Amino acid sequence: MAINYKGLFKILEERKISLTDMSDDLKLSSVTRAKFRKGEYVSLQTLEAICKYLSVNVNDIFAFETPNTPSILYTRLKEEMDHRIKGGIYHETQILMTYNSNHIEGSILTHQQTRYIFETNTIGLDKDHTINIDDLIETQNHFRCIDYMIKCALEPLSESLIKDLYRILKTGTSDAKLDWFNVGEYKKRPNTVGGIETTSPDNVHKEMSSLIGRYETKTNFTFEDIIHFHYEFESIHPFQDGNGRVGRLIAFKECLRHGLIPFTIDDSLKMFYYRGLKMWKTEKGYLLETCLAGQDKYKRLLDTFAINYPHS
């Protein structure tokens, strides 16, 4: 992916600072200096150092150039979202993805209740049924996450975008009242997933920056690339909670961005999905096959709305 550093060069010119002088002051290597001239990706740590050096924002110094033509699915989702069209692919994607993603993480809301919340912004309960308030809040928040994900679908991945998804998902929950939960930022306390140790809080920023950097330097993206990123993200487990849902939102976004059919993981695929994440290093095919099965499930929804899509 090409990167435009015109903003950086303009600021340097206006302030009469040469690229060499800035590189010397920041102790940047000649290799990094050459990347600016070639329009290649440099680490987020380097960009942050430059922003601090020049007292500017990251958006002032560079921009990604995305040649991708928006897919039919993205165009339909964006149009139906913007105009709040009911009964279309956007409507059904909201319900399907929110129910599936929350349900495999332990939400007791049914598919019908999820639909009712989305369509009426209310919840109907009988006298014998109780519900966790956080389930309600996170369901509403997940609807908002999907809207945000669609709005940002064609943008490159960044730490700020990923943190925004986490903040939107957890805002207003009981977890958000706990300072150590650090909603909207990376975790403060170590955590595990399936009994497996994840990246320590002190190293999360470094690992996330490196992961995004490696991913964004690719020129051609495949479905496997997206699943590989998903595995790496879940292995880092950057947030105190909500990593599975944020990770699946990212994967859906990246499929939209690169013209691939998204996937959704429902209860029937849950155990295969978790097993696939554990086995990725030794047997990538297990997680890939599970996500391809989830892709087939979403493809059936596309067929319902006569949305033709190339095979991924």
- Which domains are delineated in the chain? 2-65 (1.10.260.40), 72-304 (1.10.3290.10)
pLDDT digits (tens, 9 = 90+) for 40-89: 778 878 888 999 999 998 878 977 665 567 899 999 999 999 999 999 99
Helical segments of 55-199, H only = 58-61, 72-82, 89-103, 111-120, 133-151, 159-170
Give the CA distances from residue 8 to residues 33, 55, 262, 283, in Å, rounded to whole numbers and listed in that order.
12, 12, 35, 43
pLDDT of residue 1: 53
Distance, CA of 64 to CA of 150 (rounded, Å): 18
Residue 64 DSSP label = E
pLDDT per 10-residue tile (average), the chain, 312 residues: 82 93 93 85 85 90 70 95 96 98 93 92 71 92 98 91 96 95 96 91 95 88 97 98 98 96 96 96 96 96 88 51
pLDDT of residue 64: 66
Dihedral of CA 159/225/146/201: which sign?
negative
pLDDT of residue 13: 93
pLDDT of residue 37: 84
pLDDT of residue 47: 87
pLDDT of residue 65: 63
Distance, CA of 244 to CA of 241 (rounded, Å): 8
State pTM to two decimals.
0.81
What are the tokens at 18? 């040469």
pLDDT digits (tens, 9 = 90+) for 225-263: 999 999 999 999 999 999 999 999 999 999 999 999 999
Q: Side-chain half-sphere of 2: how many Cα atoms within 13 Å?
A: 8
Distance, CA of 302 to CA of 88 (rounded, Å): 10
Distance, CA of 219 to CA of 226 (rounded, Å): 13
10 Å CB burial of residue 61 (0-12, 13-18, 19+) is buried
Residue 68 DSSP label = P
pLDDT of residue 68: 60
